[in-house]
Amino acid sequence: MNEEFFVVLNTIASVIVIICTVLSFQLLVGISRELKGLKTMDVMWTNFIILTNLFILLGITRAVGSIGTIIFEGLQPVFEALLSVTLILFFVFAIQLSLSIEEITE
């Protein structure tokens, strides 16, 4: 398979991911607006919103990174570092959210 195929595939995937993340972010804003009606915001919802935001950030970083490296290869380490930091933060908040979900389920 030639290099152009992967460039096209990555670009199309990145564009779809960016569209999905932007729409997901709008939905997340809607969810947080719904939650504002409640006087006390649950810890679980706070963690859920933070985690989903991180997940969206992860998708955007990956998508922008894969398009950015096609244009300028020097950007690759920067995006990889950002991706690593976001993944580590994702791990922390995933554990926190799981624990708060377990508390509600019990």
Partner 1 sequence: MKNLSFFAGIPLIMLASINALGGINQIDMSGTIVRLISYLLGVCGAAYLAAGLWSRAEKGSESWKYLSVSMILFVFWNIIGTFSILLDVLSIRKSTSGIVISDEALNTYIIIVQILDPVIAVIVFLILLFGLRKIINAMRTKPWTVFSKDEDDQEEKSNE
> Under the rule (CB under 8 A), what is the footprint of partner 1?
1, 6, 9-10, 12-14, 16-17, 20-21, 23-24, 27-28, 30-31, 34, 51-52, 55, 59, 62-63, 66, 77, 80-81, 83-85, 87-88, 90-95, 97-98, 101-102, 104-105
Spatial separation of the C-alpha atoms in residues 38 and 83, rounded to whole Å: 34
How big is the CA angle at 105 (ends 104 and 106), to the nearest 5 degrees? 90
C-beta closer to partner 1: residue 41 or 92: 92
Q: Which is nearer to partner 1, 33 or 72 (CB)?
A: 33
Smallest distance from partner 1 to CB 56, Å: 8
Side-chain-facing half-sphere of 101: CA atoms under 13 Å: 9
Q: What is the 3-state secondary structure (H, E, C) of 49-67?
A: HHHHHHHHHHHHHHHHHHH
Q: What is the CA radius of gyration of the chain?
A: 17
- Of 26 and 71, the one with the shorter C-beta distance to partner 1 is 26
Smallest distance from the beta carbon of 72 to partner 1, in angstroms?
Answer: 18
